[in-house]
Amino acid sequence: MRQFEFEAKESFRKVGLSIPRGRLAKSSEEAERIATELSCPVILKVQVLSGGRGKAGGIKRAENPKEARVIADQLLGMEIHGHQVRSILVEECLDIAQEIYIGITVDRANRRPVAICSGMGGVDIEKVAEEYPEKIARLAVNPLMGLREFEARRLVKIAGFKGKPLLQLSRIVMQLWRVFSDNDAELTEINPLIVTTDGEYIAADARLNVDDSSLFRHKALMERLETGVAELTELELRAREVGMTYVELKGDIGIIGNGAGLVMATMDAVHYHGGKPANFLDVGGGATAERMTQALDIVLSHPDVKGVFINILGGITRCDEMANGIVASQKNLRREVPMAIRLIGTREKEGAEILRKAKIPFLETMDAAARLIVEKIVGGSSA
């Protein structure tokens, strides 16, 4: 579960990390009041659960309270990557001497956390990772022992720091580890960690994603899911209400599968052939024909979707049930779009026969289906 920046910063504050002075505003009048109290130029940052806020126009500077009110009027209610802006974080501007990146995430391949540090923080940290991988230090953490102080110092030293900055940054890494472990996080990061002209270290931005499997231990987050769910789009809410996992993305090929791993592999296959997934949708195990019909309706409700790739690996999910759902949905589809269908596993022969009788084409391999849907949507495979 993703947390808003202001929520993540509250978790940072609890472990002693320095954050900018500021408060959350839900109206332009409130933004003006906060700017007046801070008595300095301020940054207004939209609170949505999406990256790239700055590039989308969601982070702006105001020199005075009146300007803060005008900008807040512009930001509130706008939409960024499918998320409507309902609140703004108004914070003091910082005098920046250096930007640093510090993060802790889960390395699933090696089944352990990994701590990351770089002296080249900021909005283009992904570009740094691609172009200057040697500028990013990584340290695998023993999940039983946790991150230890000497390891934090080693990480910071590998990143190129020494002397007093090494000691200060290693302390911050340990504080971030507390945030990570206390919140059962999948990811937490400070990007950027600002070194001010006065030598202070301040978390200018904050990110914290909590593992959904641990939410039973976090009462406040569970309550937010049950009552507010402000971070979810309308379609994500619809999917959650019927017990499906759905995440909107920026592409134009709808993805439906059963099982998170299979859906991710399906998305990778589409990417490989030059396509862009429009969503992640997992119908779950043991899905019924009705569930497949619901999944198609949700995916095709997104206006950007130009085609759909359905990939079913039958275990407890039966291929004939999925085929029946696909056939039933044809009568009430919101709109006609190209489809690529692959069914394999439990009762696949029966499923194939159902599709064949309905004259709905299907393929035997994921790669062939991915290639087909990309050819239909973008006009050719890049592989």
The catalytic residue positions are: 101, 189
Amino acid identity at 208: L
Paired sense of beta strands 207-210 and 96-107, if any = unpaired
HSE value, Cβ hemisphere, 13 Å, CA-based, for 29? 0
Residues 6+ apart with CB under 8 A from 294: 242, 244
Q: Work out the number of other CB atoms within 10 angstroms of the CB of residue 348.
A: 21
| Segment holding 115, helix H or strand E | strand 112-118
Q: Which of 66, 1, 366, 47 is nearest to 212 (CA)?
A: 1
What is the spatial distance between Cα 237 and Cα 319, in angstroms, rounded to a whole number? 27
> Does residue 361 have a cis bond before it (omega within 30 degrees)?
no
Integer Cα distance of 314 and 347 in angstroms: 8
Q: Identify how many contiguous H helices and E strands the chain contains and give both numbers.
A: 13, 17
What is the rounded CA–CA span in Å between residue 3 and residue 208?
Answer: 6
3-state SS, residue 5: helix
Judge contact between 249 and 278, C-beta under 8 A: yes
DSSP state of 21: S
**First CA to last CA distance, the chain:** 35
138 backbone dihedrals φ, ψ, rounded to 5°:
-130, 145
Which residue carries 């019927």 as its tokens?
Answer: 242
Smallest Cα–Cα separation from 94: which of 207, 203, 10, 208? 203
Q: 207: closest CA among 47, 19, 348, 8?
A: 8
Q: Which two tokens stand for residue 70?
A: 């005008």
Which tokens go with 92? 């003091």
